Amino acid sequence: MVRVLTAGHVNWDVTLRVDRLPEADCESVIRSQHRSGGGSAANVAAALANLSLDTGLIGSVGDDDNGLLASRELESVGVSLDGLRVVEGADTAVKYLLVDDEGEVAVLGNDGVNEAVTPADLDHDRIRDADHVHLTSQRPETAGAIAQTANEAGVSVSFDPGRRLCDRDYTDALAVADIVFANDQEIASLLEDEYVGSAFDDRIVVVKHGGDGAKVHTPDGSYVHPGFDVDTVDTAGAGDAFAAGFIATLLEQCEGESLTADDMSMPPVPTVSGVDIERALEFANACGALTASEEGARSAPTLSRVTEFLSTRF
């Protein structure tokens, strides 16, 4: 049994640091190369494990070397892979991330088998046993089946559909998601759909602004945090670390615990249904900022690192 179950892509990333993102008929210089695991579901799972939460994963890889490396890396940080499907004779999805000197990222890649999980492959008891389920980009029918199973069992659901939101129908998953994560472009796409009106009325919608922080809309009001100024190295995985920090803080508050140092002097802040949204937003922004200040999508900080970082802000 795990506290949080993430579902979606598991990739192998090749990060190429370049002097500038290439334009048509131009050439860029590769400064360095870095290889590590990637994929939003895997990134969030690893980030949650770094924050000391028992975490499991639903996803798929091939039986090639890249799949083995991705699996081993997740296991090394404590992510349960009971729900990871290994597809024989298939290639793991590989993404090539081009990162310029400002930390901005462009992505090239092949899909591989990172969407091999279908509704028929799901272990519904494992979904029901979790405290929370976090969905990322994947087959819409699989996301919908996971969300429906969790919802029927009273398990909270968050969803970060990602950049393919505009060309995929995630209505079933979004309909029951308690928390929806989106960036500025994705929220614009959501606003064009009929289910978003209710999303702002009866659930939490988190709009990520990258280095400019984030805004959270709730049934009781909206909250803004400007983010933290850091020297940006690589923004890949920062949004996933942000989501992990937000989820972890809410879950720990529900348990009556805290993800910040006991001796921090913090003023009272508004809450939603007994949950401190502003504290969760601040913690999430710290996780995102610290990830962006390091190389690679798997550079999410540990709990002690976030606590130390926040303690210097007061």
Global pTM reads 0.90
What structural domains does the chain harbor? 4-20+29-261+269-311 (3.40.1190.20)
Task: Decide: 186 and 180 in contact? Cβ < 8 Å.
Answer: no
Is the pLDDT at 185 greater than 70? The verdict is yes
Find the mean pLDDT for residues 176-202: 73
How many other CB atoms are there within 10 angstroms of residue 92's CB atom? 27
Please state at what angle helix 238-254 crosses helix 277-292, rounded to 10 degrees.
150
What are the DSSP calls for 81-105, one per residue? EEEEEEETT-PPPEEEEEE-TT--E
The residue type at 25:
D
- Which of 115, 99, 98, 117 lies closest to 162 in space, CA to CA? 115
What end-to-end distance do the CA atoms of the chain give, in Å?
37
The per-residue pLDDT for 267 is 37
| Banded pLDDT at 262 (limits 50, 70, 90) | very low
The percentage of the chain sitting over the pLDDT mark of 70, rounded to a whole number, equals: 90
Say which residue, 66 or 260, is predicted with more confidence.
66
Q: Average of pLDDT values for 160-182?
A: 89
**Residue 134: pLDDT above 70?**
yes
Q: How high is the pLDDT of residue 102?
A: 83
Which of 54-68, 205-219, 272-286 is least confident? Answer: 272-286
* pLDDT exceeds cutoff 90 at 165: no
Q: Which of 272, 217, 215 is nearest to 242 (CA)?
A: 215
Q: Which of 13, 91, 234, 240 is flagged as catalytic? A: 240
Least confident of 132-146, 186-200, 276-290: 186-200
**Helix-helix angle 65-76:40-50, to 10 degrees:** 30
Report which of residues 101 and 153 the model is more confident about.
153
Answer yes or no: are the C-beta atoms of 134 and 6 closer than 8 Å: yes
Tell whether the model's pLDDT for residue 182 goes beyond 60: yes
63 is catalytic: no
Strand partners, 6: 57, 134
Lowest-confidence pick of 13-27, 62-76, 257-271:
257-271
Nearest to 128 by CA among 161, 95, 162, 155: 155
The mean predicted confidence, pLDDT, of the chain is: 88
**Which pLDDT band holds residue 187 (cuts at 50, 70, 90)?**
confident
- Determine the pLDDT at residue 242: 97
The pLDDT, as a whole number, for residue 4 is 97
